[in-house]
Structure 1
């Protein structure tokens, strides 16, 4: 089978399965299976593909056609310029979370050798992006999922980033005792999708990504933001920042909650689509160091 035939076959199968952007997805699959570049695929479409590579591409197509996200199929995604391994144990990092990283980095820009804590690290995307951009920082990352921490540690080892990964549950009162104190920044992309929205999600998200990383428990949509604000008093240095991604419908509620919790300079910032998605607050007081 030639490159052109392999690509056309993948496009047709994916389109028949209702996969959005079937051609681009088929290109990713053919590139991954053959190791060729996109330019080579189109410049030399009549090159015959090795049968083993054809078989691998077909397996990828079958998996994607059933609704499995392409990032899980290929085993990786790109985030903030970093190649991140992803598995069904972790949420797939989204482009909007890169904006959270940008805001977090902006808040610690004036601080030398800042201490940073990433809560609910998943694949380690936020922590590793911060550590890569700020190699002088002491970065810690926690997650409640042992499976997620396996992925995060592997990403850290591969990228050579000195992030300390810990297993801890931010919803427990003991959380503050399980991590070091005195952070300049706590950053988080916590679960924030209400259970009521589950049925309306894309099948790729609903059926394949880890529910514990997506959905808030019934009854309190602000439970994770409440926990973050409560721990901030003990874990943030005076003047330290709390930055978290939010559901677009919860941004104003998070602001009100954090203000009642005693945080200062609280605001919710829009993402590039002009949705309220990044909550920011600061522990009162000035740094003494």
Structure 2
């Protein structure tokens, strides 16, 4: 399959590293011009510099903005008022130990609300701006990067799981709203992935326990995700491949979907 996105402009939120960065590179490789986003100017500038070296013939730009706030979203809109492709990737999680309901009871309001603002409202704000413009043009792609935690709620990260489930509701509802317009809206559900947040956490766990990172990851999977079928962490490129496909012309009949790239962790077929 030859995915061709020449002439398309893509915005990928949270794309200085991890799944977002791999997605930005995949879209650029397919010919799209790409806007990189992150909170800190230095990281955005470095990501843009590196991508321009790899893709010298592509239009690569960057916008530093904190998308957990309405002001941050407005910064993006001012610098990139239009887009053909929107990948709502930015997000984070609070990785905690779990020893019972007492740990859940200790999660403060600011953690619940902070994750909701970043993981959910960032995508709501971005879609609210770009979707009407895509509809007017008769073509567009919006992808929400959710998680298998949306349907396989982790008790140790209940606040995170809540936001990922909310993303599925938003993405499906938006797909319904733009039915028949040539615009598609989908969600992608990664599983355990060697991305920046989880990868760094596993590296620290490996160092603390005197084992390799792969051994630490295997321990995590056995304890927390024993149903994995690939029996390893996914790579960011493997997740990005699904996202790039969902952004392509070839995916024109795929909309309102929750596309799983979670290594078979979730034990149901639908």
> What is the TM-score with the length of structure 1 in the denominator?
0.43
Larger Rg: 1
> What is the TM-score with the length of structure 2 in the denominator?
0.46
* Structure having greater relative contact order (Cα 8 Å, sep ≥ 6): 2
| Bigger fraction of residues in strand | 1
